[in-house]
Amino acid sequence: MAYVVLAAVTLAVFWQVSQFGFINLDDPVYVIKNHPIHSGITWESIRWALSTTHAEFWHPLTWISLMLDYQLFGLNAGGYHMTNLIFHIMSAMLLFCLFHRLTGAIGKSTFVAAFFAFHPLHVESVAWIAERKDVLSAFFWMLTLCLYVYYTKNQNIQRYLLVVFSFALGLMSKSSIITLPFVMMLLDYWPLHRFSLEKSYLNFFKRQFREKAIFLLLTFVFVLITVWVQPSVHHFPWPKRMANAVVSFFIYLQKAFFPVDLTVFYPFPESIPAWKVIGALGLLMITTMSALMMRKRHPYFFVGWFWYCITILPFLGIMQVGNHAMADRYTYLSLTGVGIILAWGVPPFFRNNSAKRILRIGVVLFLMMMAFLSWRQCGYWKNDKILFHHALSVTSDNYMAHICLGVALENEGQIQQAIEHCQEAIRIKPAYANSFNCRGSVYYRIGQYEKALQDCRQAIRVQPDYAESYYYAGLTYHQLKKYRLALKSLEKALSLTSDRADFHVAKGNSHFAIKEYQKALDEYDRAIRLKPDYAEAFLNRGMIALVRENRSSGCADLRKSCDLGLCRGLKWARENHYCLSANK
């Protein structure tokens, strides 16, 4: 019954995502413009998934899951959203199974699973297609713990290897689940009570080390991989990152109980008051000491607190990734620790029958409130305009929201409003290249090429390795008929990002314009290898073939481009007497 209720309510809360589209923040990097996944599941695409560090991560299983989605749904975003939701529901069910098997407490286990399934902080991981790695790795996290409990009941090599295999799959989904071995140790203390089987602390730790050695080795390897693939540049000085980490630690806890003003991007604060840092450090020390002192009388508090502390640690920004101060998705696994404390810590205060009835009603109302807030938060992810308008309404100086909203407005043709948002982003964050690139792309779209070039140059001055700005500079030079300058900019863009099919097509177009046909063909061929359904590449390659009197090849490419929805090439060919029909 608990499984049915969990699945039904979670489905009701999140079902609306099936009608949502992609958003412009990271979804193009992961799906829309990530051409290798557009091949679906093939040996070549699997090889790419296993070898690439695209998007500055090594998570081959995440890429493979997105390839499978593309094979099933193409670019229908609803399918990707439903896959995320299915993984989320399965993780909630596994979490219930885990604590039910560990403790036999149906009510408390249901609460822990529901707290995970319904919490508004978890909406981001479910509703954002680019966060497939969150829901996929969480599924393997829960599965690994269930298999671990299964192993502890009958400790044989087959069960042990199942646990190791599941953990490895989780790491290949998202390396941040490296904290899982330490959570296993917490469960050994309570509720497995494996500690009591040993005569001394020394024996316990020796046994733990032997048993967890392979998990710790995998953890070490994936830490090295993560450090290797992540960029080494830190956007903020070390003292500021440490201060933000300490304060964010408790802001997450605050939002666990009062999940309001949630947003997709939290700007890094210009300054953090010293009293906040000192207060957070003091509270951290007091709570941690309390958990240690209560570990025998209230082991659930010890386990829940350290579950939260350990699992949130990789996400506090000490080793920083990105410009944000914090992110809702970082609590996806951590809040289970809070759920454990609530599930086992609150009932002792309600001992008589009437008090227990009040508690049951209170728990139902609390979970209903969480489900409603999640449903409402989920609605903000419908599209870019709604999402980033909401971000601007609940935060201040949110330059990323201005940029993303500017892109969304540009795509809808609301040019003046798009420029205003880009300018506001530049005012807030003048040292951020994407702010200038955003405005430059708008100027390019409306034909103000000199202004577009100025913004591209400014973006490059701010960030000399920003491929997108070189790309837009190349497009702009091409429109100004400065083809050699266009080729120089596009060559630089490709030296920074070689797997973008649109970069190759743009470079091919500039070669085409100056009649360097073979070089243009080479670029179109590269684009088609990266994106086999690239209509413009087939169109332009076909036109070159016809110009060079290769009629059969040219007409085949033009028909292919027409099959892909770009038919102007056939009309051009007929007008120039190259081919007479789409069937010839």
pLDDT over 70 at 195, yes or no:
yes
pLDDT number for residue 108:
97
- Sorted by where each begins, the domain ranges of the chain are 2-379, 397-497, 505-584
3-state secondary structure 433-471: HHHHHHHHHHHHHCCCHHHHHHHHHHHHHHCCCCHHHHH
β-pair partners for 266: 326
In the predicted model, what is the mean pLDDT of the chain? 93
pLDDT tens-digit series, residues 515-539: 999 999 999 999 999 888 899 999 9
Residue-wise pLDDT tens digits, 482-501: 999 999 999 999 999 888 89
Whether pLDDT at 554 is above 90: no
Distance CA(540)–CA(564), nearest Å, equals 13
In this predicted model, which residue has the larger pLDDT, 524 or 200? Answer: 524
- CA dist list (Å): 19 to 118, 372, 424: 19, 18, 31
Q: Is the peptide bond before 191 cis (omega within 30 degrees of 0)?
A: yes
What distance in Å separates the CA atoms of residue 189 and residue 175, rounded to the nearest whole number? 25
Fold of 505-584: 1.25.40
pLDDT of residue 199: 64
DSSP letter at 328 equals: G
Q: Confidence class of residue 197 from pLDDT cuts 50, 70 and 90?
A: low
Topology annotation, domain 397-497: 1.25.40
DSSP H or E run through 368 = helix 353-379
Percent of the chain with pLDDT over 70: 96
* pTM assigned to the model: 0.93
The residues pairing with 326 across neighbouring beta strands, listed in sequence order, are 266
Q: Where are the alpha helices (DSSP H) in 266-352?
A: 274-293, 299-312, 335-345
d(CA 503, CA 524): 10
**Lowest-confidence segment of 244-248, 343-347, 375-379, 569-573 by average pLDDT:** 569-573
CB-facing half-sphere around the CA of 40: CA atoms within 13 A: 6
Longest dimension (CA), the chain: 92
Residue 584: the pLDDT is 39
Q: Give pLDDT, residue 547.
A: 85
DSSP 324: E
Would you tell me how many other CB atoms lie within 10 Å of the CB of residue 255? 19
Q: Give CA separation, 44 vs 6, 37, 67, 133, 335, in Å.
A: 39, 10, 12, 21, 39
| pLDDT (tens digit per residue) in 12-38 | 999 999 999 999 999 999 999 898 898
Of 204, 154, 214, which is closest to residue 180 (Cα–Cα)?
214
Whether residue 580 is predicted with pLDDT greater than 70 in this model: the reply is: no
How far is CA 416 from each of CA 259, 389, 397, 410, rounded to the nearest angstrom? Answer: 35, 16, 20, 9
Q: Which residue has the tokens 């080793």?
A: 319
At CA 428, angle to CA 423 and CA 432, rounded to 5? Answer: 85
Query: Does residue 369 carry a pLDDT above 90?
Result: yes
Measure Cα distances from 365 to 8, 371, 375 in Å. 17, 10, 15
By CB atoms closer than 10 A (0-12, 13-18, 19+), residue 282 is exposed
What's residue 581's pLDDT? 47
What are the pLDDT digits (tens) for 421-438? 999 999 999 989 999 999
- pLDDT recorded at residue 577: 64
Stated as kind and residue range, the H or E segment containing 267 is strand 266-267
Contacts of residue 157, Cβ cutoff 8 Å, sequence gap at least 6:
none
Burial of 11 (0-12, 13-18, 19+ CB in 10 A): middle
User: What is the rounded CA–CA span in Å between residue 34 and residue 484?
Assistant: 28
397-497 and 505-584 in the same fold: yes
Inform me whether the pLDDT recorded for 216 exceeds 90: yes
Is 70 exceeded by the pLDDT of residue 582? no
Joined together, the tokens standing for residue 439 give 């405005």
Per-residue pLDDT at 583 = 41
Can you tell me the distance from the alpha carbon of 320 to that of 177, in angstroms, rounded to the nearest whole number? 17
- Name the burial class of residue 338, with classes exposed (0-12), middle (13-18) and buried (19+) by CB atoms within 10 angstroms of its CB: buried
For the segment 109-158, what is each residue's pLDDT rounded down to a tens digit?
Answer: 999 999 999 999 999 999 999 999 999 999 999 999 999 999 999 999 99
Q: Is 152 helix (H, G, I), strand (E, B) or coil?
A: helix
**86-92: average pLDDT:** 98
